Amino acid sequence: MECKLCGSTLLTVRPCKDAKTQEMMPIADCQRCSLVQQAEMPSTEALQIYYSHHYRTDYKSAYEPKPKYVYRAGRTALDRLQCLQKALDLPTGSRLLYVGAGGGEFVCMANKFGFHAIGIEPNQGYSTFARNAYDCEIRTGSLEDVRDERFDLISLFHVLEHMAEPTEVMRKLHSLLNPKGYLFLEVPNIWQKDASPHNIYFKAHLYYYSRASLTALTSPYFETVWMEDEGNLMAILRKRDTPLAAHQYPTAADLSHHAQRMARKGWSEYLFEGGGWKKPWQRLQRSQQEQAVAHLSAAQILERLAAPHLR
Ligand SMILES: [Zn+2]
């Protein structure tokens, strides 16, 4: 097989299991660009069946999230918008496209923060709910359906790892951005210490990125403005005026760091360095906060979360 990013045939394949089904799912590590990828890419049909069984995404059914899920998604949206505010000073009314908008919490919050936000979400139930609950623009569809439009910022959170042709996706995103437009990405981080060893490899996740491989993937079309990889991998990138002719692949030092990180992953690192031992306590605290909003509507929950942060 060839690496999907750099085309190298220097891949090491190791046995792994899908976290949801425990089925065998071999993983390939590229020795040249360090991208971790599924060795046997599942077909689109296999993925759709898997999604509908394991991600509760029946693409047609009605959807009504529980208040605790709105609260949880609203808190995450708030964190992301605050990251954005710290890193960039975008003018009010900047056009933002959010790919994989889910239940619409981020789009609703982004509008409160002054963006002109548009969401796109393939799930009919989720997108219909979001349009009705927040009176915002959420289209039912996917990135392929967006054409002949320009945005100042495009965000994808936990979407890129599901996409089979990430290089094509980068080209498309570059074409949808205004000059000096930005990309805001978040993906699971294969170097992170705070992911339970039970929950790393999923059939739906075709690629497992790190700071080094995400930089390599995005480098022809984008330059990095900000990147954070303590937990999940988050990045803000600026569109290049002229794409580079080649990818900027990891250096020898990056590759050796990658090898070290992969060798150290395991229960002991997760519990003691990744803070895994604190998680049951954190879950208890969160459940108390979530009970306090159980009587509110989705729009009221987001209003209450955003209010202290709006100027
Ligand atoms: Zn590679």
Model pLDDT for residues 118-152, shown as the tens digit of each residue: 999 999 899 999 999 998 999 999 999 999 999 99
Q: Phi and psi (nearest 5°) for 273? A: -100, -35
Per-residue confidence (pLDDT) for residue 200, from 0 to 100: 86
User: Distance between CA 224 and CA 124 in Å, rounded?
Assistant: 34
Ligand 1: distance of its center to the CA of 242 in Å? 23
Q: Provide the phi-psi class of 101: left if phi over 0, else alpha when psi is between -120 and 50, else beta.
A: alpha
Per-residue confidence (pLDDT) for residue 59, from 0 to 100: 65
Per-residue confidence (pLDDT) for residue 155, from 0 to 100: 98
Ligand 1: distance of its center to the CA of 2 in Å? 8
Q: Which residue has the tokens 């895994």?
A: 276
Ligand 1: distance of its center to the CA of 220 in Å? 15
Per-residue confidence (pLDDT) for residue 157, from 0 to 100: 97
* Pairing state between β 36-38 and 27-30: antiparallel
Strands of the sheet with 116-121, listed across from one edge: 137-140, 116-121, 95-99, 151-157, 177-187, 233-239, 222-228
Report the CATH architecture of 57-309: 3-Layer(aba) Sandwich (3.40)
Ligand 1: distance of its center to the CA of 305 in Å? 42
Per-residue confidence (pLDDT) for residue 195, from 0 to 100: 73
Q: Phi and psi (nearest 5°) for 56? A: 50, 40
- Give residue 85's Cα distance to chain centre: 18
What's the count of helices (H) and strands (E) in the chain, helices before strands? 10, 11
User: Distance between CA 92 and CA 48 in Å, rounded?
Assistant: 38
Whether 98 contacts 118, CB under 8 Å: yes
Identify the helix (H) or strand (E) that includes residue 77. Answer: helix 67-87
Per-residue confidence (pLDDT) for residue 286, from 0 to 100: 79
Ligand 1: distance of its center to the CA of 104 in Å? 35
Residue 85 makes CB contacts below 8 A (sequence gap 6+) with 113
| pLDDT < 50: residue spans in the chain | none
Whether 23 contacts 46, CB under 8 Å: no
**pTM for this predicted structure:** 0.91
β-partners of residue 139 are 120
Q: In residues, how long is the chain?
A: 311
Ligand 1: distance of its center to the CA of 265 in Å? 21
Each domain of the chain, given as residue ranges in start order, spans: 57-309
User: Distance between CA 110 and CA 89 in Å, rounded?
Assistant: 14
